Amino acid sequence: MSRIGKKPVELPAGVTAQVSGQTIEVKGPKGTRSFTAGDDVDIILDGNVVSVKPRGMSKRARQQWGMTRSMVANLAQGVTGGFKKELELVGVGYRAAMQGKDLKLSLGYSHEVIFNVPEGITVSTPKQTEIVVEGIDQQQVGETAANIRKWRSPEPYKGKGIRYKDEYIFRKEGKKK
């Protein structure tokens, strides 16, 4: 039995959901998101409570049960509060700035990196060494943050690079004479 799948998802005030077949569409103050579930589960809307039930007890149905419930909960959270990832730049001369809709990064290369921000994602730079990625789609926010981080991932000797806020970088000792 899925512990996650058994919990119903309560929709916050100001959020409406509509189920048609295997597709659920959630509308809220920040926008509209939808998700299409597999054929192994049923999505049931009862007032402002959404519950997910498996159609059988096969292994695939039990896998889809918890995952579908998590996706519905993420839809509800995304249209109300949204998702946010914070990155910080560590290194001498490492800077970030918004240039129109693009993110301009100085990361120690001979050129500046221009990162095109995808549609539906908001990127801001409160400080030169901080980047905040926000949006209503958790997967897209995480993927955008990972793509920015990929330009200069943290290295273990000095800790330089782009890291997630509060990320621990395991440090290694350098060569000895």
Q: Note the pLDDT tens digit of each residue in 151-160.
A: 999 999 999 9
Residue 24, helix vs strand vs coil: strand
> Helices 138-150 and 59-80 sit at what angle, rounded to 10 degrees?
80
Gap between the Cα atoms of 90 and 127, Å rounded: 12
Query: pLDDT grade, residue 177 (50/70/90)?
Result: confident
CA angle at 49 for the pair 31 and 68, rounded to the nearest 5°: 70
Model confidence at 46: pLDDT above 70: yes
Model confidence at 176: pLDDT above 90: no
Domains of the chain as residue ranges with CATH: 3-80 (3.90.930.12), 83-164 (3.90.930.12)
**What letter would DSSP give residue 157?**
T
In the prediction, which pLDDT does 69 show?
A: 94
Secondary structure element (H or E) that encloses residue 112, with its range: none
Give the pair of three-digit tokens for residue 148.
């920015």
Global pTM value? 0.88
Query: pLDDT grade, residue 1 (50/70/90)?
Result: low
Least confident segment among 2-16, 87-101, 132-146, 154-168: 2-16
In the prediction, which pLDDT does 15 show?
A: 92
- pLDDT per position as a tens digit, 61-82: 989 999 999 999 999 999 999 9
* Residue located via tokens 């926008």: 31
Can you tell me the mean pLDDT for 80-100? 95
Gap between the Cα atoms of 38 and 104, Å rounded: 40
| Amino acid at the residue 4 | I
What is the percent of the chain where pLDDT is above 90?
89
* Residue located via tokens 């693009």: 102
Model confidence at 18: pLDDT above 70: yes
- Sheet hosting strand 161-164, strand order edge to edge: 121-124, 130-135, 83-90, 161-164
Contacts of 145 (CB under 8 A, 6+ apart): 85, 87, 133, 164
